[in-house]
Structure 1
Amino acid sequence: MTSVVCPYCFDRSSAARLPFRCQMSATGVRGGKPCTAELDTVWAEFMGPSVPPALTLRGPVFPGPRGLAGRLGVGGGSRADCPHCGVSTPVRVCLRCHSDFPSDYCDQDTRIIALLGPKASGKSTYVSVLINELRNRVGRAYGASITAMGGETQRRDREMAEDLYDRLRLPEATRPAALGFNDPLLYRLSLPLRRRLLGDGSRHTALVFFDAAGEDLGSAEAMDRYTHYLAAADGIVLLVDPLQMRAVRDQLPVDSGLPLPTVETPPQQIAADLAAQLRAHGRGSSRGRVTTPVAVAVTKTDSLFSLVGPHSPLRRNADHAGGVLDDEDRLAVHEEMRGLLDSWDSGALFRQLERDFAQLSLFGISALGSPPSAESPSDAPKSGPQPLRVEDPLLWLLGLGGLLRRTPAGSTPAGRAAADSAAGSSAAGGGSGSGSGSGSSRRTGPGGAA
């Protein structure tokens, strides 16, 4: 029986048990009168006082048909007739919070991606650029397509693209949870599925991006607001802003002219609080490490070019040849970032991550390709976004979930050398990165990255 994870409250329910919401259409068959809006107290309590009272009046919620009719029904159970007006509706709602699901959300599996990072680390810009790359350069390489699901995501997706790519304006900061609920972004990712007997087809996955405001990551108590979200995540992208690290600022050229953000919550503190929350909600293994895969993405790598060599993998995008993930390329980036972290904080952040998370990998990304002007820090560069490796963290997480084909690290001499180097560094650090959540025999990369 298919289970559905609500992208708003992250409650998991059987798809067959989900209720429906009447759309209050005038085309009913019982007298021709549409249903009248009712106060949805469940949804109103979940959304909180920031929602105007008029918006809490919504179409009536009713249970779906029972028995065989509920399992089969019109469109395979994806629609139901309102018992009051008789109009068929495709709108299903969450049992726990009564949030409406997009019409096709329940028809495919779901990957919930948690996005965490301190204030000014570029989370909103990252998501906007990532979606654009998945639609264009990366989507072409993998034969993939991605579309926004539901009216709210479609509206925000359109506004983000217009602001960043047409007006060259950076997205506004994510609203803190204390000021109201932040809707997740819902996308449908379609990938080619080739079957020997049945021919070509498509595999559809719902991607849920939930962006936690940087202000909400300042303490374990504040992060607790995201308990259900973090516990339900299939993968976490933790953004680390190098320009908020004092050691990096000290190494940058005096005349760099980079706009430096305010130093916010240290990444070690965010990582430690994240691991504590996940362990407290059943995502820890018997050995104490969290089983949720974590992609640690160091942002704004264009500002670090003075600190890396001319042939650094951070200076170019992966080619994604043949629509296959190159794990050797990922491993090269991981080792480059591990070396940089070691020079910035003596490797303290990486050692903590290795001891807290069973599956992790380091990435280096730049959403814009060059820094905003110091005179106009809220504007994108005049050339527009020229991103570097923004897709890498998400593709790695999707690869772990079996959605993408992967070329294992160590399949070439250069790859074996890099893998041996990574294994040696983990052993030197106490061996905490020797597993992948289900045994060290599956290890193909650093930090237990399977």
Structure 2
Amino acid sequence: MTTEPRRVRCPVCADEFGWPQDGRVLVFNQGTRKHDIIDVNGLSPAKRAGVRRDGYIQCPNPAGDMGAPHYLPATYADYPDPLTVGLVGAPMAGKTHLLTAMIREAYRGGLSPYGVTTSALDFRRHDHFHEQFVQPFERGAALGGTDSGVTEAADILLVRGPAGPRPVTFFDVAGEDLESTEAMNRSTRFMLGADAVIFVHALEDEDPGSTGSVNPSWSFELAVERLLGVPENATRVPVAIAVTKADRMRYVPPVQRWLRAPAAGLDAARIRAESRDVYAFLHRRGAVGSLRPFDAFQRCTLHFVSASGGDASPADAGQQHRFARGVRPANVLAPLVALLAMTGVIGGPEAQKVGMP
């Protein structure tokens, strides 16, 4: 009796395909910069597991609409219900800094109060992310924005929580691509299969009493409509709104309270209280466009975050901007914790209440 291959949705192109069961694994060859094919069927269980842990399969992209080939870890389908998480926001909103700080804090054990551990699922991809983003960030360098036209995931992690292990794929797409109305925009293809989204709103330098701008965020508007193109997404996809650069108002209530709040176990009432304060803060400032996800999706949380703890400045004229006092992320894991609760990675009665009206 032949077992039907598991159907997997690729997080990059959003196509579904039957996961290969022929035992062939692709291993990246550093010397040739190409993938070598290895048949693991004749290997011992230990060697087979080792090759698969470092290997890949090529997504067949049945629709043929991605152009360049893309690859998934060979162990991607070993785990249930992979998650695809996207960060959405305008150019210069701070998405890359937030994602970098979030992954860094997760690897430093920041999710342990919630019973969650983090490791890499794609070693090569994670090593690249660490080298290109985490290490410069830790040295105090301000990170550049995401390049336009990027279609690959930023990182693929394996999170192990009370409900079991889940692969989590993160996408950080350039604001210019998010605001593009091109029908065949490959960079935003991941949103067709997104399982959760973090909407990133930058707290800009403005008077605390200002009404701000009443124009909706174009990035948010397009992302919401793309997600709602799949009708069940309104109830299926949980979202979080993260107000970045909140350190600019770190001494002003209610921002002060939430940036300095210590990490604790999951508390739905606490998350609801922060969401209420952030909603009132944005509404008072006239940032109505940034509240659109709250109205569009059934489960939504809102958070004040600071990826770096302060603004970067040039060390010398013409030099790269740096965080002179180093980086001090604050509350950056709050949006991720909320999403992990709303997607079942963190389970239990308390998690079921997170993000509910």
TM-score of the two chains, using structure 1 as the length reference: 0.64
Q: Could you tell me how far 1:58 is from its partner in structure 2? A: 4.6
In structure 2, relative to structure 1, the CA distance for the partners of 1:375 and 1:337 (3 Å cut) is farther
In the aligned structure 2, how far is the partner of 1:16 from the partner of 1:392? 37
Relative to structure 1, is the Cα distance of residues 24 and 163 closer, same or farther in structure 2, using a 3 angstrom cutoff?
A: closer
Is 1:298 the equivalent of 2:298? no
The CA distance in 1 between the partners of 2:131 and 2:182, in whole Å, is 34
- What's the CA shift string for 1:86-118, capped at 9, x where partnerless? xxx954221227533324323213111011111
CA offsets per residue over residues 387-407 of structure 1, 9 Å max, x none? 211111111111112111456
Residue 239 of structure 1 pairs with residue 200 of structure 2: yes
Aligned ranges 1:278-317 → 2 under 5 Å? 278-280=227-229, 282-284=230-232, 289=234, 291-309=236-254, 312-317=256-261
Distance 1:396 1:270 in 2: 22
Task: Give yes or no for contact 1:8–1:184 (8 Å, CA) kept in 2.
Answer: no
Contact between 1:114 and 1:209, CA under 8 Å: does it hold in 2?
yes
The residue number in structure 2 matching 1:353 is: 293
CA offsets 1:318-366 (integer angstroms, 9 cap, x no match): 4223xxx11111111101111111211175643x334322222211111
Find the residue that maps to 1:251 and give its secondary structure: coil
CA distance in 2, matches of 1:335, 1:22: 48
**1:120-269 superposed matches below 5 A:** 120-148=92-120, 149-165=122-138, 167-177=139-149, 181-191=151-161, 203-221=164-182, 224-243=185-204, 249-251=206-208, 268-269=217-218
Contact 1:19–1:95 (8 Å) recurs in 2: no
Structure 1 residue 13 displacement after superposition? 2.4
Distance 1:18-1:218 versus aligned 2 partners, 3 A rule? farther
Unmatched runs of 5 consecutive residues or more in structure 2: none
Distance 1:383 1:105 in 2: 39
| Cα distance change on mapping 1:330 and 1:12 into 2, 3 Å | same
Instruction: Identify if the C-alpha distance between structure 1 residues 23 and 348 changes in structure 2 by more than 3 Å, giving closer, same or farther.
Output: closer
Matched, 1:394 2:303: no
- TM-score, normalised to structure 2, is 0.79
* Structure 1 residues 137 and 218, CA gap change in structure 2 (3 angstroms): same
Q: State the alpha-carbon separation in 1 of the partners of residues 166 and 354 from structure 2.
A: 26
Aligned-CA RMSD value:
3.9
Give yes or no for contact 2:153–2:170 (8 Å, CA) kept in 1.
no
Q: Does 1:326 align with 2:267?
A: yes
**CA 1:9–1:61 in 2, change beyond 3 Å: closer, same or farther?**
farther
The count of aligned residue pairs is: 338
Distance 1:100 1:19 in 2: 16
CA separation in 1, counterparts of 2:119 and 2:97? 18
Partner of 1:274: 223
Partner of 1:92: 57
More helix per residue: 1 or 2?
Answer: 1
Matched, 1:338 2:279: yes
Between 1 and 2, higher relative CO (CA 8 Å, sep ≥ 6) is seen in 2
How far 1:292 sits from its partner (Å)? 1.7
Letter in 2 for 1:140: S
SS in structure 1 of the partner of residue 92 of structure 2? coil
* Cα offset, 1:187, TM superposition: 1.4
Q: Which secondary structure does the structure 1 equivalent of 2:298 belong to?
A: coil
SS of residue matched to 1:95 = coil
Indicate the percent of aligned positions where both proteins have the same amino acid: 20
- Could you say which structure has the higher strand fraction? 2
What is the 5 A alignment of 1:362-401? 362-373=302-313, 379-401=321-343
Q: 1:58-101 CA deviation, whole Å, 9 max, x = no partner? A: 54699x98xxx9xxx9759x77x9xxxxxxx9542212275333
| Contact 1:299–1:365 under 8 Å retained in 2 | yes
1:433 is matched with: none
Deviations 1:224-261 (A, max 9, x none): 43453002111000100121xxxx613379xxxxxxxx
Q: Aligned partners of 2:322 and 2:98: how far apart in 1?
A: 12
> How far off is 1:19 after superposition?
7.6
Q: CA deviation at 1:151?
A: 1.1
Q: What does residue 7 of structure 2 align with?
A: 3
Determine the structure 2 residue equivalent to 1:101: 72
Q: Output one character per residue of 1:411-442: Cα deviation in whole Å (capped at 9) or x when no partner.
A: xxxxxxxxxxxxxxxxxxxxxxxxxxxxxxx8
Larger-Rg structure: 1
Question: Which aligned pairs between 1:402-413 and structure 2 lie closer than 5 A?
Answer: 402-405=344-347, 408=350
Aligned CA distance change for structure 1 residues 24 and 211 (closer, same or farther; 3 Å): closer
Distance (Å, rounded) in 2 between the aligned partners of 1:11 and 1:269: 27
Preserved contact between residue 297 and residue 365 of structure 1 (Cα < 8 Å): yes
Return the alpha-carbon distance in structure 1 between the equivalents of residues 201 and 296 of structure 2.
Answer: 17
Query: Tell me, which stretches of 5 or more residues in structure 1 are unaligned?
Result: 26-36, 38-53, 82-88, 194-202, 254-262, 410-441
